[in-house]
Structure 1
Amino acid sequence: MHLLAVALTCALTAASPLQSRPDLSGIWVFNQEKTMQPGPDGKVVLAAMLGERVVVQQTGTAVTLRITFQGDVVVAVYDLTGAESKNVSPGDITVLSRASWKGDRLVVDSTSESTNDGKPVTVRTSRVMWIDKAGDLIVERTGTPASVVTPSRSVYTRMPQK
């Protein structure tokens, strides 16, 4: 009987995923009111990091963001298998990224080139995305150099499905 219980426990453990990942898919709109609430550090930085509206499509291997910003749509695809992703930001800026799950949060670490005071600089950012208890999509960004990357936090509300 004890052997059967051990075998059943092993089978159930092997059949269940190690950790379920939240599905970020949906149509999300920037929520200025919630973004204006101080983050964990007590600071408020108003930044619609994913534009006014973002459509997220998530599969087991990739997350695609269709970001609407000032009437234009920018598409970014992030590989979830550990491979590097290459996207182009407005201004024809090449951005190299790696995305990975840290618990229930998607972390996107990116590198690009920019200028600061007329000098070339390498920009490194980390964006962390997750769904909070209220069902909102939270996006937090940090990075270097501090003169180019302002730490910020954005809140997006999911549009109801029709």
Structure 2
Amino acid sequence: MFEVKSYSKDRVQSYDLLIKQLDALLEGETNRIANLSNASALLGQFLERINWVGFYLLEEDELVLGPFQGLPACVRIPLGKGVCGTSAEQKATFVVADVNAFPGHIACDAASQSEIVIPLIKNGQTIGVLDIDSPEKDRFDEVDKEKLEEFTETLLKHI
């Protein structure tokens, strides 16, 4: 049985524990949707001051909504559009302090003020993105970027 351990006040240590928990939670499971669902649930429990966390999966030339935690969201996002589509197209993580200042931002939830999007790249190919929104401006920093990239690397071993 999976057990959630307590997180410390040190953010790096807490993220490291989260990544270990993800690896243990997904061990032996190969179903992509099940693993993405558990990953989004785990992040939803771990991260504070967010209003949406989930995945968009690449199908042909657009991202399609996958497992998530939060309010209903945009279902399809073209490559190169908004933060998610740009991240997928450029294969780069985007930390956006103010979504309203991002050219072409797609507002799925008007409450979202900042965002981090990490591309999911497997065997050199983008397969989707991890998208996390916050109702606070400037919510995400370099620690979040580094550790969420590690989180997605661990996740990709299981999908």
Query: Do the two structures share a fold, i.e. TM-score over 0.5?
Result: no
- TM-score normalised by length of structure 2: 0.35
**Larger fraction in strand:** 1
Higher RCO (CA-CA < 8 Å; seq separation 6+): 2
TM-score (norm 1): 0.35
Greater gyration radius: 1
| Structure with a larger share of its residues in helix | 2
